[in-house]
Amino acid sequence: MTVAEGSSSSKPFKSKTTAYVVVCWIFAAWGGLMFGYDIGISGGVTAMDDFLIKFFPLIYERKLRAKEDNYCKYDDQMLQLFTSSLYLAALIASFGASKACTVLGRRPTIRLASIFFIVAALLSGLAPNKFLLITGRILFGVGVGFGNESVPLFLSEVAPAHHRGAVNILFQLFITIGILIANLVNFSVANVHPYGWRIALGLAGIPGVFLFCGSWVIMETPTSLIERGHETEGRQSLQKIRGVDDVENELEQIKHACEQAKKVKDPFKKLMTRESVPPLTIAVCVQVFQQFTGINAIMFYAPVLFQTMGFKNDGALLSAVITGIVNVLSTFVSIVSVDKIGRRKLLLQACVQMFICLVGSGVILQMNLKSVGTLDKNLAFVVVVLVCLFVMSFAWSWGPMGWLLPSEIFPVETRTAGFAFAVSTNMLFTFIIAQAFLSMLCHMRAGIFFFFAAWVLTMGLFVLFLLPETKGVPIDEMADRVWNVHPVWKRFMPRSGKGAEMT
């Protein structure tokens, strides 16, 4: 049990890390596992012949007659749509989830997410026809929309300021664990005929049940309670999560933020005002950039990508498992360093590492992999190492920061609405990559690596000039301590108020 004092511009906040609060973090972060499982499972399922024969017989036939071109083997819009449709549903659901977070609270929204996951897992695992399969897929998407909206917000609101980064990154950690479990499940059931795909889809129900149970154990966040007028419960919740009785300073600050929030009748309208430009721009750009690192080309299609380089089926699946392990382990680097060295340094370091890996892989493939034939064994090994180094740097930077930054930079009045924009932007661009990557690979060939490298360069410049450091700043003091003192963003802030006086 540790005792620490969070910093506020004026008064310190006391907190202890109790066993109960750690349990709450872990239960809530479990929502990330559901998302990760969905990311990891669909690529493997769509590669299973039994699944294709049952639902997509035409695609199966086409696969048998597949073009021999290395880069175009798997280019098929329908196949990509199965993977990507979930993200369209999540995109739309995130706006409903934002409303649910505000009106019902963060905890019931997490519970709703778990219910969607359980029903979706049952439907898709047992699906007798395409209609129920797709309905299941859509419900998974709704669950992802609800979970991805409520869980990072929950984590950022219950974490003490000095550990907020680490606690929030538990969500990303569970995403990576979910992806890895899905990779392992795919690997294990690929040869279970004819129901391997049913096991893979249905197993998502187990973590769904766990999340549902967890949603009864965790408490509601103090901010959400106070925002909805339950001040006494808000104080109790704060005492419980901080592990100390004296929470007056922090409570005052949350109450002040919520009073300001009450003056705003329509959060989405408020998001369109000048002073919301800084957090909204950052929340949206961070999500677009996260997806344009190209990470999901690897997460969705790693086995396909490795087959493109000439690996046999098992070798390709195994390489996907290896990248999955690298993804999980590297996330710990972020957990221990984000509140010490800060968000900006991690993001900038990763841009350099990702750029080198992308250009390196691009050059090797451009020079050595033609439409027919395979890559030399040693070179293929080098590319796998580069892919692992790429995943590693993503895992301690753009992966976790994509969820952390948007959850901590909005004031209470626009927090859930602003975060909904972030989630839906993430889903939109995840959809685009899922839908377009295989076609892009077919048309751009090795050039696809240079395409992503150019994006990585752009995002590095964005971080350098436009992203302020938010490490250790209490979540309800961003306006005063971040936006009002930033050389570019302060121009968007109102002149009056505490913060304006500081600039």
Which residues sit at the interface with ligand BGC, rule CB under 6 A?
A: 39, 172, 175-176, 179, 290, 295-296, 299, 327, 399, 402, 426, 430
Cβ at position 61, least distance to ligand BGC in Å:
31
Closer to ligand BGC at the Cβ: 13 or 390?
390
Contacts with 338 (C-beta within 8 Å, 6 or more apart), sequence order: 165, 166, 169, 346, 400, 404, 471
Closer to ligand BGC at the Cβ: 419 or 489?
419
Closer to ligand BGC at the Cβ: 244 or 428?
428
Cβ at position 473, least distance to ligand BGC in Å:
22
What tokens were used for 467?
Answer: 């992203």
SS (H, E, C) 293-342: CCHHHHHHHHHHHHHHCCCCHHHHHHHHHHHHHHHHHHHHHHHHHCCCCC
Nearest alpha-carbon partner for 399 in 279, 250, 299, 275: 299
Torsion (CA) 113, 116, 117, 118 in degrees, nearest 10: 120
Cβ at position 398, least distance to ligand BGC in Å:
7
Cα distances (Å, whole numbers) of residue 208 to 32, 95, 117, 140: 11, 21, 6, 10
Closer to ligand BGC at the Cβ: 56 or 449?
449
H or E segment at 42?
helix 19-46
Closer to ligand BGC at the Cβ: 221 or 397?
397
Closer to ligand BGC at the Cβ: 123 or 151?
151
Cβ at position 32, least distance to ligand BGC in Å:
8
Cβ at position 331, least distance to ligand BGC in Å:
8
Cα distances (Å, whole numbers) of residue 468 to 73, 291, 462, 483: 43, 21, 10, 8
Closer to ligand BGC at the Cβ: 212 or 429?
429
92: DSSP letter: H
Cβ at position 177, least distance to ligand BGC in Å:
10
Closer to ligand BGC at the Cβ: 237 or 287?
287
Quote the CA–CA distance of 204 and 150 in Å, as a whole number.
Answer: 19
Quote the CA–CA distance of 218 and 201 in Å, as a whole number.
Answer: 27
Quote the CA–CA distance of 9 and 496 in Å, as a whole number.
Answer: 18
Contacts with 11 (C-beta within 8 Å, 6 or more apart), sequence order: 249
Ramachandran assignment for 497, one of left (phi > 0), alpha (psi -120 to 50 degrees), beta (any other): left
Closer to ligand BGC at the Cβ: 172 or 221?
172
Cα distances (Å, whole numbers) of residue 26 to 171, 249, 402, 449: 9, 27, 19, 36
State how far Cα 294 lies from the chain centre: 14
Ramachandran assignment for 143, one of left (phi > 0), alpha (psi -120 to 50 degrees), beta (any other): alpha
Phi, psi of 4, rounded to the nearest 5 degrees? -145, 165
Cβ at position 16, least distance to ligand BGC in Å:
30
H or E segment at 271?
helix 267-271
Closer to ligand BGC at the Cβ: 4 or 321?
321
Closer to ligand BGC at the Cβ: 8 or 430?
430
Cβ at position 87, least distance to ligand BGC in Å:
9
Closer to ligand BGC at the Cβ: 81 or 192?
81
Nearest alpha-carbon partner for 485 in 474, 470, 464: 470
| Alpha helical stretches, state H, 369-484 | 377-395, 398-408, 412-444, 447-466, 478-481
Cβ at position 54, least distance to ligand BGC in Å:
27
Cβ at position 208, least distance to ligand BGC in Å:
19
Cβ at position 403, least distance to ligand BGC in Å:
6
Closer to ligand BGC at the Cβ: 398 or 462?
398
Cβ at position 175, least distance to ligand BGC in Å:
5
Nearest alpha-carbon partner for 137 in 155, 157, 116: 116
What tokens were used for 410?
Answer: 């909005």
Give me the numbers of helices (H) and strands (E) for the chain, helices first please. Answer: 23, 2
Cβ at position 283, least distance to ligand BGC in Å:
13
Q: Are 190 and 51 in contact (CB under 8 A)?
A: no
